[in-house]
Structure formats: C-alpha cells, structure tokens
Amino acid sequence: MRLIARFPEHRQASALIDSLRNVGLDRKDMIVSDLAKEEKYNSFKDAVEEVIFIKTEREGLGELGTFADGIPGLKGMNQGIIVAVEASKHNSNRVREIMEQSGAAQIIQD
C-alpha cells in the first residue's frame, strides 16, 4: 500500500522522513520529490539528454510525465514536497498518523 503526503515546507517533509525511520521504515521505501523542481519535457529525447530517469509502464505509449503526474489527486498541484511511502496494510494507519503529525497538507492513499 502506498501513502503520499504533500507538505508546504521542506522541514516538514524532513521531519516526516526522520519520524518514519524512527519507527522502522527504511529510506529506500520512500520517494521524495519537490513539485516545484520537477522538470517537464516534450519528448523522451529531450529528457534523456538532460537527466537520467526511471523507465515507466507508460513509456511504451509515447507518454512522458513526472512522478507527481501519476498520482491521482495531485493534478494541478505545483508547489510543495511530496513523500510517497510503501507500507504494509497493518502499518498504514500509523504512517498516516505520523504524516498528519508532521504537518501534511494532503494525504493520498492508493
């Protein structure tokens, strides 16, 4: 199960990461992205020339997007820091609680 939290400030996202590590989650189970700094490209060629990126399932369809584009509920959001966490179903309530305590402006579960 994946939980995604959006924070207005870097320090809040950093506090969440520290708190999640303190309860035993590994940093490799988290994806952190600054919405304001995500690059938009018009073609794969442009993206390949600029950065190394992770191949996605939709790549074969000729589509290109950012990590946040694939998260329902974040459409149109272009500010803040997102932290996505893979958590077991029995641990998801605790992760959500920590996200709320850290000041998440929005939490999405998928």
Q: Which of 7-11, 39-43, 90-94 has the lowest mean pLDDT?
A: 39-43
Residue 63: how many CB atoms within 10 A of its CB? 11
Output the average pLDDT for the chain.
77
Q: Which residues, in sequence order, are bridge partners of residue 83?
A: 5, 32
Q: Is the pLDDT of residue 97 over 60?
A: yes
Backbone angles phi and psi of 4, in degrees to 5: -125, 125
pTM, rounded to two decimals: 0.70
Mean pLDDT of 77-98: 88
C-alpha torsion sign, points 50, 76, 83, 90: negative
pLDDT in tens, 30-62: 888 887 665 555 555 555 454 444 444 444 555
| Burial annotation 11-46 (CB, 10 A radius, 16+ → b, else e) | ebbebbbebbeeeebeeeebebbebeeeeebeeeee
What six digits make up the tokens of 57?
A: 């399932």
Domains delineated in the chain? 2-37+68-109 (3.30.70.3450)
Q: What is the pLDDT of residue 32?
A: 87
pLDDT > 70 in the chain, percent:
64
pLDDT in tens, 63-78: 555 666 667 776 556 6
Q: Which of 12-26, 32-46, 80-94 has the lowest mean pLDDT?
A: 32-46
Please list, in sequence order, all residues whose beta carbon lies within 8 angstroms of the beta carbon of residue 39, skipping any fewer than 6 positions away: 47, 50, 51, 66
